[in-house]
Structure 1
Amino acid sequence: MSPVGNSRAMEWIRHIMEKLVVLLAFLPCVSMKTVWSPQQDGDPSLRFAVIGDWGGLPLPPYTTEQELLVADELANTASKWGADFILSVGDNFYYDGVKNVTDIRFKATFENVFDGESLRHVPWYVLAGNHDHNGNITAQVAYTNVSSRWIYPDLYYDLSFKIPSTNVTVRLLMLDTVVLCGNSDDFVGGQPLGAANVKLAEKQLNWLVEKLQTSKDEYLLVAGHYPVWSIAEHGPTSCLVQHVEPLLKKYRVTAYLCGHDHNMQYLQDNSGIGYVLSGAGNFMENSRKHEEKVPEGYLRFFQGEKETMGSFAYMKITPKEMKITYVKSGGKSLFQTTLYPRDL
């Protein structure tokens, strides 16, 4: 080929490459097939989603439309923003938990639903709700040895994380509020009926006090199924208001994370503690039945409209702040707020 021919060929190749660069710039989501790294944006952080009350139904196909939509959006969010783990705050299997470790519900309601590519290797840290306690709760704990991503070592347990590339730590204390306060009947409403075993309840409460006392973590989170504060169908949990809320204040907890009421709420008390209620994984209830039982000024956000079709809370914790975003199925942000490290 003549020098002129070579020059024209190189010019044509450059022209094609320039077009490809422009095209790819407008199609990043289509072209990217790898899972988004949580640290890719150069901002060291710990990122996770909080999802509650996602437990499908006890009859085939063992799911609800809302659960499927939430699972899709959870996968999308993990792909776009990153996820170090998922926090499940209970009622994992409606209405009576599971029978044994081989129960079909583990596959049909969990494994086969939350199966997006970005979720396949993300650990789920699990705690139990009242419906889980209606079944074989020991089987849910034992499933930890079956599934590579289901992590539920005991009814209550302690998790500790370090924000990558920093010395900033996040402590997450996982409670079993059914053991603490007793079971409840969602179809009747009302408060938990009181601890079935008072000694076990006292043992867990003493464990919580010890963990709170010794925490030197910049961020200190407590999670349980029942809410401390809620304006909705179940309302504030009097047992937790009496026994746990004073401890959250005394030890300057950053936030309390929960489910139980089937909607999304964010409340914040006068000491700055955030109360993150994320119970819209499977059903939506637009109830404000107990609004008058929550101190004035605590409620900052509420969403219970059925058209929302599910939601979850997404957390991004950096050395400087903890950003909380409520995300609905379809990807829209419903509400966002910020909490800050503890003053140690």
Structure 2
Amino acid sequence: MKKTFLFTLSIVLIGLASFSLASHENHEIYDNEYYSENAIKGLETVEDGFSFLVLGDWGRNGHFHQRTVAKWMDIAAAQADAEFVATTGDNFYSNGIASIHDPYWRSSFEDVYTGPNLFIDWYATLGNHDYRGNWQAQIDYSDISRRWQMPAPYYAKTVDVSDNASALLLFVDTSPLNPAYESEEKYAAAMAQDGDAQLAWIHKQLSESKAEWKIVIGHHPLYSSGKRYGKTSGIRNVIEPVLEQYGVQAYFAGHEHDLQHNRAANKQVEHFVSGAGSELRPVKQREFTLFAESQAGFAIVSMDSTQCLVQFVNNSGEVIYRYTISLSKDK
């Protein structure tokens, strides 16, 4: 009996020592030296500006490139003093989640984005894969998680980006607005939503806002240099006229598993795709392509009263693209 007790006690003590050592090591890797040694070279931020990250198509239980993207997101958030993370949807593959208690919350979110600088607000949007599961559970999880923020399928947030300028951010739900899903049974839950009501809400938000910057974040791209090139006209015809009408400067989407910047001729809106949070797909140069790469990564946005700097960072910690939008004097 005594030997059994001593053996059990030794196992417990070894376990506690291992846990203590692991905890200490995990703490140590996130010290100032770690961020100094792993700083993203060439990453720029607008001085005294407002920064946030944009991540899309990511929730795959840490598979593919998800964990390396998460690592560099944490470092970028530290360097840029990011205020929040915005998602462009498809938060959980392949069929969304079942409930607020689904283990995917841990395996695809909580246990992947563990860097201390990623414990900021996450403003999420819904993608088509999220609608294959219990999409309402993603909204309800906002009542459980301190950092997960999804008050509704679509919602607005206004932030001060400097002492004299603000930005209106619209997080929209593009699946119910996509005509391509009207005959697909697997997206019946999305098509059951009131798309007309959402469009009216978008009009109202954009028309009444006094913000200098207007940025819209959704799931489906209106232009694609990737897999869906030539197949986006349906959703584009619904959303683009509204964005152009109210002088929206940038639209961020996902859906395509890559990083893109597209601008159509004779249009004012800059179209960015940040859907490279995990799995990748090929891209090609198209007539509207300013940048397109099949690399895992995310976008970081830094802005003030006169400029909005958008950069793509890959999962090797490299800045692979940089573009600045200047605020027009007449807006």
- Normalised by the length of structure 2, the TM-score is 0.81
User: For residue 211 of structure 1, what is the aligned residue in structure 2?
Assistant: 205
What is the alpha-carbon distance in structure 2 between the residues aligned to residue 241 and residue 128 of structure 1?
18
Give 1:97-246 correspondences, 5 Å limit: 97-120=96-119, 122-164=120-162, 166-181=163-178, 196-197=191-192, 200-235=194-229, 236-246=231-241
1:296-315: per-residue Cα shift (whole Å, max 9, x none)?
3x2100101xxx4x111110
Give the direction of change, closer, same or farther, for the CA distance of 1:139–1:193 in structure 2 (3 Å limit).
closer
Identity of aligned residues (%): 30
1:271 is displaced (CA, Å) by 3.4
For 1:229, give the aligned amino acid.
Y
1:261 is displaced (CA, Å) by 0.4
Q: Which among 268, 278, 283 is matched to residue 279 of structure 2? A: 283
2:306 counterpart SS class: coil
| Native 8 Å contact 2:180 2:234 kept in 1 | no
What is the alpha-carbon distance in structure 2 between the residues aligned to residue 82 and residue 333 of structure 1?
17
User: For residue 247 of structure 1, what is the aligned residue in structure 2?
Assistant: 242
2:242 counterpart SS class: helix
What is the alpha-carbon distance in structure 1 between the residues aligned to residue 176 and residue 201 of structure 2?
13
Give the direction of change, closer, same or farther, for the CA distance of 1:239–1:31 in structure 2 (3 Å limit).
closer
1:49 is displaced (CA, Å) by 0.8
User: For residue 30 of structure 1, what is the aligned residue in structure 2?
Assistant: 33
Q: Which among 256, 261, 273 is matched to residue 261 of structure 1? A: 256
Instruction: State which drifts further: 315-324 or 207-216.
Output: 207-216
Q: Which protein has the larger Cα radius of gyration, Structure 1 or Structure 2? A: 1
Give the direction of change, closer, same or farther, for the CA distance of 1:284–1:317 in structure 2 (3 Å limit).
same
User: For residue 83 of structure 1, what is the aligned residue in structure 2?
Assistant: 82
- Normalised by the length of structure 1, the TM-score is 0.78
What is the alpha-carbon distance in structure 1 between the residues aligned to residue 175 and residue 106 of structure 2?
25
User: For residue 8 of structure 2, what is the aligned residue in structure 1?
Assistant: none
What is the alpha-carbon distance in structure 2 between the residues aligned to residue 284 and residue 74 of structure 1?
17
Give the direction of change, closer, same or farther, for the CA distance of 1:238–1:253 in structure 2 (3 Å limit).
same
Give the direction of change, closer, same or farther, for the CA distance of 1:332–1:42 in structure 2 (3 Å limit).
closer
Give the direction of change, closer, same or farther, for the CA distance of 1:340–1:116 in structure 2 (3 Å limit).
same
| Native 8 Å contact 1:175 1:223 kept in 2 | yes
User: For residue 269 of structure 2, what is the aligned residue in structure 1?
Assistant: 273
1:51 is displaced (CA, Å) by 0.5
For 2:166, give the aligned amino acid.
T
2:152 counterpart SS class: coil
1:124 is displaced (CA, Å) by 0.3
Q: Which among 273, 285, 290 is matched to residue 300 of structure 1? A: 290
| Native 8 Å contact 2:154 2:171 kept in 1 | yes
What is the alpha-carbon distance in structure 2 between the residues aligned to residue 311 and residue 253 of structure 1?
25
User: For residue 17 of structure 2, what is the aligned residue in structure 1?
Assistant: none
RMSD: 2.5
What is the alpha-carbon distance in structure 1 between the residues aligned to residue 92 and residue 34 of structure 2?
36
Give the direction of change, closer, same or farther, for the CA distance of 1:161–1:224 in structure 2 (3 Å limit).
same
* 2:53 is aligned with 1:49: yes
What is the alpha-carbon distance in structure 1 between the residues aligned to residue 34 and residue 227 of structure 2?
45
1:272 is displaced (CA, Å) by 3.1
What is the alpha-carbon distance in structure 1 between the residues aligned to residue 123 and residue 270 of structure 2?
20
Unaligned runs of 5+ in 1: 1-27, 57-61
1:31-50: per-residue Cα shift (whole Å, max 9, x none)?
879xx9xxxx9922110111
**Residues paired across the two proteins, number:** 288
For 1:238, give the aligned amino acid.
S
1:239 is displaced (CA, Å) by 2.5
1:238 is displaced (CA, Å) by 2.1
| Native 8 Å contact 1:70 1:329 kept in 2 | yes
1:182 is displaced (CA, Å) by 5.8
